[in-house]
Amino acid sequence: MQLSVNGQSRDLELDNRTTLLDALREHLGLIGSKKGCDHGQCGACTVLLDGRRTNACLVLAVTCAGREVATIEGLAGPDGLHPVQQAFVEHDGFQCGYCTPGQIMSAVGMLEEFERGWPSAVTGEVQPAGLTAPEIRERMSGNLCRCGAYVGILAALTDVASRS
Site for other proteins in 64-83 (CB under 8 A): 71-73, 75-76, 81
Contacts of other proteins in 20-39 (CB under 8 A): 22, 25-26, 29-39
Contacts of other proteins in 45-64 (CB under 8 A): 46, 49, 52-55, 58-60, 62-63
CB-side neighbour CA atoms (13 Å) of 71 = 22
Q: Which is nearer to other proteins, 124 or 162 (CB)?
A: 124
Residue 101's φ and ψ, nearest 5 degrees, are -60, -40
C-alpha span between 58 and 39 (Å, rounded): 7
Contacts of other proteins in 98-127 (CB under 8 A): 98-101, 104, 106, 109-110, 113, 116-121, 123, 126-127
Smallest gap from residue 89 Cβ to other proteins (A): 4
Classified as helix, coil or strand, 121 is: coil
Sign of CA dihedral 35, 71, 62, 55: positive
Residue 1 binds other proteins (CB under 8 A):
no
Q: Which is nearer to other proteins, 9 or 80 (CB)?
A: 80
Sign of CA dihedral 152, 153, 154, 156: positive
